[in-house]
Amino acid sequence: NAGVTQTPKFRILKIGQSMTLQCTQDMNHNYMYWYRQDPGMGLKLIYYSVGAGITDKGEVPNGYNVSRSTTEDFPLRLELAAPSQTSVYFCASSTLNRDRARDEQFFGPGTRLTVL
């Protein structure tokens, strides 16, 4: 299993450009997440999905969009990039998040995005 894969690893955008961060998992996990991590900070949830066709906003969704057409893929779209979106983006997945079950998250290697 490759686990959770993300592309690209690095990207530099100009203000106002758009891009899609790709995320794929091969563990047949229902739950998928997008987080951003700024220097010295923890992970802030952008969007999450509990299954194909279902997405929901997290703590910091403004400026981003997601879709979940398949179990495996969960792309994150940035429209009109701004310097405040400079960050490291992590995609993660987990199984069913059952009541009181461990169901820990597995993370991709991250995408380092700079907006100039």
Distances (CA, A) of 61 to 30, 58, 96: 20, 6, 23
Q: Pick from 24, 32, 46, 108 the residue near another protein by CB under 8 A.
A: 108
Q: Pick from 41, 80, 82, 116 the residue near another protein by CB under 8 A.
A: 41
Rg (CA), the chain: 14
In the region spanning residues 44 to 103, those forming contacts with another protein, defined by CB under 8 A, are: 44-45, 48, 50, 56, 58-59, 90, 97-102
Indicate the residue among 17 and 44 with the shorter CB distance to another protein: 44
Which residues here bind another protein, judged by CB under 8 A?
31, 33, 35, 40-45, 48, 50, 56, 58-59, 90, 97-102, 104-110
